[in-house]
Structure 1
Amino acid sequence: MTKQVDLSGYLKKHFGFDTFKGNQEAIIQNVLDGNDSFVLMPTGGGKSLCYQLPALILNGTAIIISPLIALMKNQVDAMRNFSEDDGIAHFLNSSLSKSAIQQVKDDVVSGKTRLLYVAPESLTKEENIEFLKQVPISFYAVDEAHCISEWGHDFRPEYRRIRPIISEIGTAPLIALTATATPKVQHDIQKNLGMLNAHVFKSSFNRTNLFYEIRPKVNATREIIKMLKENTGKSAIIYCLSRKKVEELAENLVVNGIKALPYHAGMDAATRTGNQDKFLMEEIDVVVATIAFGMGIDKPDVRFVIHYDIPKSLEGYYQETGRAGRDGGEGRCVAFYSYKDIQKLEKFMQGKPLAEQEIGKQLLLETVAYAETSLCRRKMLLHYFGEKYTPENCSTCDNCINPKEQFEGKNHIIKMLKVVNELKERFKTEHVIQVMVGKVTSVIKSYQHHELPIFGCGSDEDEKFWHAVTRQSLVAGLLSKDIESYGLLKVTEKGQEYIQKPYSIMLTRDHDYDVMEQETRTAGGTAALDTGLFSMLKDLRKKISKKKELPPFVIFQDPSLEAMATYYPVSQEELQNMPGVGAGKARRFGKDFVNLIKRHVEENEIERPMDMVVKSVANKSKSKVSIIQNIDRQVSLDDIAGSKGIELLELLQEIESIVYSGTRVNIDYYIDQVMDEEHRDDIFYYFKEDAETDDIGAALEELGEDEYSEEDVRMVRIKFISEVGN
């Protein structure tokens, strides 16, 4: 049923635009011709128009299957703005009252409604199926189609039921749309929707205006505040993985004078929608959110997308960063990375079905590869989506702006390719690298790979080095990962040719974030550490510690001195804003430190960066007050942790921050229940007489990890600091 129409005329009439973007016109024509279409178009490319315009041109109602109520509401409101009749677009979902549902059905039956948005859950309801059987349907559109695939970043099982239900309601052309899909996910979507013969329209994934950057996760909150303060008034979305962190970070931003609100699925619908609307209406600048936020958010001028926590997959990362700079203007994408976060995410996967764990692990490894690589980030990202980026330097990512030194990689690559061949292409990266460095594990032994001549052939370099070689060989097309079988390494045809006829390939070493975190910490985070002042503060601490016969760390820990030597607090009030310094500590020990800093600032005519002193959240003390009250009532620490929904170790860390800030607590009642006297005294004596620092790792090493648990050492350290220091 070819329908030749003046598409530009319709575009102007309904939406007021003069020209189509990218593939839009060809896609719309394909829908009008009655063909199935698969549309892969990055965020900001204008996906919605690809089904909105044909819905207005064709007779009947287009059924738009969409995953989120907020997303449907936005789209329906947008469509109504383009039309005089509100009935032109409706949504049908669980948020509607009975009378509202009746109104929707009346408008659909009367032919007024051209677009009907339906959640997959609503589509499966028997009464809706029966109703839609009577409706002339122009076509079906499956938005956010990546939700169909287990390999996508937002898998929803109900999406897999769409095809059988469509067949039951009545067949019509189908258009599936997504902003992110690797070749594997694309095939999954088409197969599941029964549209393997669909016309495929793929736009480039390259968003040229976005700047990509990964930073080590040190003082991330302070870094974020600094970034936002330097860009006051600019819109930003900050993503965190947990609701708790969303609330906490949003509070921190507000306390520091930034207009921010939280957004997560645990909030009631009205508050959540209200916060989203305030962001869209520019009443606030920043929204701190879990990944529940963002699908279909059409705000064109988001200037920053910041990931406080690294996402679970590169699709998720790409989709979320894609919300920056949709108007073609500035868009900075900054992610904070620490391998500890990856380990945390792996921990969350435990207990899930094995196949799901394997998929999750593969997706995580791709994220690690992206974060740690020193290759052009754009090249790496586009390679992941099956697109080749040929320029050597994109000049819009941290790696291209600060390139790492290169070295000749030919011999290393050949060694790697030969080992993959020797292992018959049946193993994942981890295993291949363990064979190369000569690491004997139970799995290596079970395959007798430690007896192969190639075992240890790359032992002159470490595992990190070989990971970098693997990643760069994948991007160069010499190796491939067989995703179907969970990431087995294969040598490509190009790779086999390379073994025979090698040529020069320059490689770079990956970033080592453990080292970078260490360097950033010792450099005092964001601002520059005044090393002269730092050493004077340490001398003062030593002097006071001798006078009071206390270990130096009881007075102030190193991070507190580093902050003082970075931000120059010259009053007790300012001193209290330093990490690990509360009112009690400031009163007890602060005077001499403040005087020393004041003198140093005056003598050296230092301009203090006090505007960047990050204020701590006052009402975070609510939680602390309740902990102190519970301890005063001698409530078991296990019960306090349980009531707060946290582990005992997390509670001990909360109590530590209380005592390190100068407040005294007495947990003897609990220590006496769980530890014998001798055990307790050994740890106490260690901190009093032997410890040079208060480091838990050093304490466990000295005391013996077999006899003493981390919880034991932390509890006695709390007792020690509280009694001796506060």
Structure 2
Amino acid sequence: MSINKEQALKQYFGYDSFRPQQAEIIDTVMAGNDCLVLMPTGGGKSVCFQIPAIMREGLTVVISPLIALMKDQVEALRVNGVNAAFLNSSLSGAEQDQVMWQAKIGELKLLYIAPERLFSGNTFEFLREWNVSLFAIDESHCISSWGHDFRPEYRQLSALKKYFPEVPVIALTATADRVTRRDILKQIGIEEAQTFIASFDRPNLSLNVLPGRGRIQQIQTFLKKHNGQAGIIYCLSRKGTETVAASLQKAGFEAEFYHAGLPSEKRSKVQEQFLRDDIQVIVATVAFGMGIDKSNVRWVIHYNLPSNVESFYQEIGRAGRDGSPSDTVLFYSYMDIITRQEMIANSDQSEEQKELLNAKLNRMKQYAEADICRRRILLSYFNEAVEQDCGNCDVCRNPRSRFDATVIAQKALSGIARTKEKVAMGMLIDILRGSKNKNILQYGYDQLPTFGVGRDMRSEEWAEYISQLLNSGVMDIAYDEAHSFKLNPASNQVLYGKRKVELVRFISLSERKAKEEAQLPKEKPKQEIIRDALFERLRTLRKQISDRMGVPPYVVFTDATLSEMAQKRPVSEAQMKAVSGIGTERFRNYGETFIKEIVDFARENTKPGTRVAKGMTYIETWDLFKAGYSLKVIAEKRDLNPVTIISHLVKLKEDGHDINLKALIDPAVYKIIVTAAQEMSIRRDEPLKPLFELLNEKYDYGQIKLALAVWEEERGN
């Protein structure tokens, strides 16, 4: 196709410039070279193979394990005017035959297919007849046993280079450390391929870790602040998803749960409802969201600790894919570590693999317990150096206050020692606080010297400090002995005054909430209120259109595009196409509808003498001009100078409105003004006073502007 990559980006995707490294990756692929691409979720990986697919002759085959991703990306490509299809088990036999025929006769530019479907039946043989010009392997970390989501069926992809040695391969992943990256290249057979590693920084994501106590209460408070925004709550177990969803439903929130144990029809229904913004909250196991290209997820909550940093980073990356500000929350307690360790110990993995899993879990633990910038920790995991703190994580916003907690530690450790290391968290706290419940009395713990030595602190304070002590290594826990606490050499050093202990000062949930509220602006500026109201109006319109089309709302426009519309309030084709994310096809399909909504909103919210919409004054002139009024009458009706009305019409013409400017000026006057302008070599964007004086002030500035605009238009033609 006779189109360059910049033109393709604007025409099909509506963006004016590439993100870092995208252009270089596209050039590499267009030159017929293999490459490995690491970009964070939402970083723009798909553009790296979709634009070459548009520009190259032949078919691009995209291999992905995720049916939901295929469907999403194909719908979005079709809306953008690109011929694409997918081939998977969700299609009937007749539908699959139709797709394969389209691939054979060259109607498709992109075909999405799962690896197991690629190697079943005669599909792989058909590739030879389909004029394949590029293979894109998405989620390529699945090919490596060192990756966090290894899938054995991906190993077959090594056959691609064997049977199609001349066809370039682009492998893409959002999460892979150095070992995994080397293994991906080896397994695919492209060991010499260039590797592109984009920045893993997602500055639009706010990173927060909260104590694991009172999770449901904290989530309810969070959801009230994020009313109407779509988000995902990830839980470790199927039962956990059902319990959390039931609690939220009982509290009045529209939430649904999702896990692999549900019938496929139910899973599909819940997923579709979420994609189409019919429900806002999904409580799910990590099986949900893989590959879902929903760009308007505004928050992600981890109810339990993920098993590794790769999984965590990929899952939080499902928020804010459109680049708009989004929140992530991780709840953390010592029990999360214990649960994960139990799962590893009881798994069928080899000892070597268990060692690897525990090492990865430990890195996740370090992130959760950090009292330095969390983004720096995340990025360093992916070997990316950061010079300064991010300012958008809980540690940066509220720096941790540490204090000498040696006495507190000694009290807790003494309680463990005097109970002969047989108590768990709840019992130890009851002993320290002097609780005379049945179990305390039954075991005679009320007679211990440490009984009641911690009455001055609440239960939640003790729970927080004991968790910190456990995490810092000055005590241990035996999960195979009912999670009872144990002493270790470090414990004895603390008990005998040979080692000091520093802890992060406890902050109650109410104090935390008050502190967060104090940081919020007390009242939004008027323009921000208007912008938010328009955004909601546009969001409603988008939902109506998407429902009619049978596609998710973000396929029509992303939240980021709607937000820019609400801010800039475009009222012409040129202004609308200047909004990021609006290409030729999208404007053709939806542009005028959204312009009308913006204009209607502006009219409804305009008071005499005010303008709530940029460009609204031009539209009012345009409406009168369309109604057939002369320039003089329009000026009178609008109480404006005729020169201003001419300026409006010239601007409207530039913005794509159908106006015959030449019909508005006397031909003789036009010729005189243009002749004088030619003599002075003057243009419309230059000061017009010298030309006005040269014409002996016979013609006003409006006529001069109009004549020069017509002249420039004719010269342009």
Tell me the TM-score normalized by structure 2.
0.56
Residue number in structure 2 paired with 1:74 = 72
Contact preservation (8 Å) 1:219, 1:525: no
Letter in 2 for 1:13: Q
Among candidates 308, 313, 317, match of residue 313 of structure 1:
308
Residue number in structure 2 paired with 1:190 = 185
1:251 is aligned to 2:246: yes
Distance 1:94 1:231 in 2: 37
Among candidates 384, 400, 412, match of residue 396 of structure 2:
400
1:49 is aligned to 2:47: yes
Letter in 2 for 1:234: Q
1:222 is aligned to 2:220: no
Distance 1:366 1:320 in 2: 16
Q: Following TM superposition, by how much is the alpha carbon of 1:405 offset from its aligned partner in structure 2, in angstroms?
A: 5.0
SS of the residue 2:65 aligns to: coil
Contact preservation (8 Å) 1:372, 1:511: no
Q: Following TM superposition, by how much is the alpha carbon of 1:4 offset from its aligned partner in structure 2, in angstroms?
A: 9.4
Distance 1:368 1:229, change over 3 A: same
Letter in 1 for 2:86: F
Residue number in structure 2 paired with 1:174 = 169
Distance 1:353 1:261 in 2: 33
Q: 1:344-493 to 2 correspondence within 5 Å?
A: 344-349=339-344, 350-354=346-350, 355-391=352-388, 393-405=389-401, 460=493
Cα distance per residue 1:456-482 (max 9 Å; x no partner): 8998569xx99x9xxxxxxxxxxxxxx
Q: Following TM superposition, by how much is the alpha carbon of 1:387 offset from its aligned partner in structure 2, in angstroms?
A: 0.6
Distance 1:33 1:186 in 2: 22
Contact preservation (8 Å) 2:37, 2:171: yes
Q: 1:319-334 to 2 correspondence within 5 Å?
A: 319-334=314-329
Deviates more, 1:267-276 or 1:58-67: 267-276
SS of the residue 2:380 aligns to: helix
SS of the residue 1:215 aligns to: strand
Contact preservation (8 Å) 1:124, 1:165: no
Distance 1:193 1:8 in 2: 30
Q: Following TM superposition, by how much is the alpha carbon of 1:23 offset from its aligned partner in structure 2, in angstroms?
A: 1.7
Q: Following TM superposition, by how much is the alpha carbon of 1:438 offset from its aligned partner in structure 2, in angstroms?
A: 13
Among candidates 286, 289, 296, match of residue 291 of structure 1:
286
Distance 1:66 1:175 in 2: 12
Distance 1:230 1:15 in 2: 32
SS of the residue 2:45 aligns to: coil
SS of the residue 1:125 aligns to: coil
Residue number in structure 1 paired with 2:12 = 14
Q: Following TM superposition, by how much is the alpha carbon of 1:277 offset from its aligned partner in structure 2, in angstroms?
A: 2.5
Distance 1:198 1:169, change over 3 A: closer
Contact preservation (8 Å) 2:140, 2:173: yes
1:118 is aligned to 2:113: yes
Distance 1:437 1:287 in 2: 38
Contact preservation (8 Å) 1:229, 1:258: no
Letter in 1 for 2:393: C
1:32 is aligned to 2:30: yes
SS of the residue 1:48 aligns to: helix
Q: Following TM superposition, by how much is the alpha carbon of 1:267 offset from its aligned partner in structure 2, in angstroms?
A: 2.3
Q: Following TM superposition, by how much is the alpha carbon of 1:160 offset from its aligned partner in structure 2, in angstroms?
A: 2.1
Among candidates 309, 315, 337, match of residue 342 of structure 1:
337
Distance 1:438 1:509, change over 3 A: closer
Contact preservation (8 Å) 2:374, 2:393: yes
Distance 1:438 1:403, change over 3 A: closer
Q: Following TM superposition, by how much is the alpha carbon of 1:300 offset from its aligned partner in structure 2, in angstroms?
A: 2.8
Residue number in structure 2 paired with 1:147 = 142
Contact preservation (8 Å) 2:85, 2:112: yes
Residue number in structure 1 paired with 2:479 = none
Contact preservation (8 Å) 2:6, 2:17: yes
1:276 is aligned to 2:271: yes
Tell me the TM-score normalized by structure 1.
0.55
Contact preservation (8 Å) 2:136, 2:171: yes
Q: Following TM superposition, by how much is the alpha carbon of 1:511 offset from its aligned partner in structure 2, in angstroms?
A: 5.6
SS of the residue 1:44 aligns to: coil
SS of the residue 2:171 aligns to: strand
Deviates more, 1:168-177 or 1:363-372: 168-177
SS of the residue 1:188 aligns to: helix
1:161 is aligned to 2:156: yes
Distance 2:323 2:104 in 1: 41
Contact preservation (8 Å) 1:311, 1:317: yes
Distance 1:256 1:157, change over 3 A: same
Q: Following TM superposition, by how much is the alpha carbon of 1:170 offset from its aligned partner in structure 2, in angstroms?
A: 5.5
Letter in 1 for 2:302: H
Distance 1:171 1:125, change over 3 A: farther
Cα distance per residue 1:527-555 (max 9 Å; x no partner): 99xxxxxxxxxxxxxxxxxxxxxxxxxxx
The aligned length equals 435
Q: CA RMSD in A?
A: 3.4
Distance 2:343 2:263 in 1: 25
Distance 1:257 1:136 in 2: 54
Distance 2:124 2:394 in 1: 51
Q: Following TM superposition, by how much is the alpha carbon of 1:310 offset from its aligned partner in structure 2, in angstroms?
A: 0.9
SS of the residue 1:22 aligns to: coil
Contact preservation (8 Å) 1:209, 1:325: yes
Distance 2:503 2:134 in 1: 48
Q: Following TM superposition, by how much is the alpha carbon of 1:292 offset from its aligned partner in structure 2, in angstroms?
A: 1.4
Deviates more, 1:44-53 or 1:13-22: 13-22
Distance 1:353 1:457 in 2: 31
Distance 2:357 2:21 in 1: 33
Q: Following TM superposition, by how much is the alpha carbon of 1:47 offset from its aligned partner in structure 2, in angstroms?
A: 0.9
Distance 1:185 1:511, change over 3 A: farther
Q: 1:580-599 to 2 correspondence within 5 Å?
A: none
**Percent of counterpart pairs with the same letter?**
43
Contact preservation (8 Å) 1:438, 1:459: no
Distance 1:224 1:191 in 2: 44
Distance 1:268 1:134, change over 3 A: same
Letter in 2 for 1:353: Q
Q: 1:320-719 to 2 correspondence within 5 Å?
A: 320-349=315-344, 350-354=346-350, 355-391=352-388, 393-405=389-401, 460=493
Contact preservation (8 Å) 1:372, 1:510: no
Contact preservation (8 Å) 1:394, 1:400: yes
Q: Following TM superposition, by how much is the alpha carbon of 1:166 offset from its aligned partner in structure 2, in angstroms?
A: 4.6
Task: Extract unaligned runs of 5+ from structure 1.
Answer: 409-432, 440-454, 469-507, 529-726
Residue number in structure 1 paired with 2:439 = none
Task: Extract unaligned runs of 5+ from structure 2.
Answer: 405-469, 477-487, 516-717
Residue number in structure 2 paired with 1:472 = none
Letter in 2 for 1:369: Q
Residue number in structure 1 paired with 2:599 = none
Distance 1:406 1:215, change over 3 A: closer
Deviates more, 1:399-408 or 1:75-84: 399-408
Distance 1:190 1:510 in 2: 45
Residue number in structure 2 paired with 1:93 = 88
Cα distance per residue 1:402-440 (max 9 Å; x no partner): 3235799xxxxxxxxxxxxxxxxxxxxxxxx9xx9999x
Q: Following TM superposition, by how much is the alpha carbon of 1:379 offset from its aligned partner in structure 2, in angstroms?
A: 0.9
Letter in 2 for 1:340: M
Contact preservation (8 Å) 2:69, 2:293: no
Contact preservation (8 Å) 1:132, 1:169: no
Q: Following TM superposition, by how much is the alpha carbon of 1:68 offset from its aligned partner in structure 2, in angstroms?
A: 1.1
Among candidates 91, 106, 109, match of residue 104 of structure 2:
109
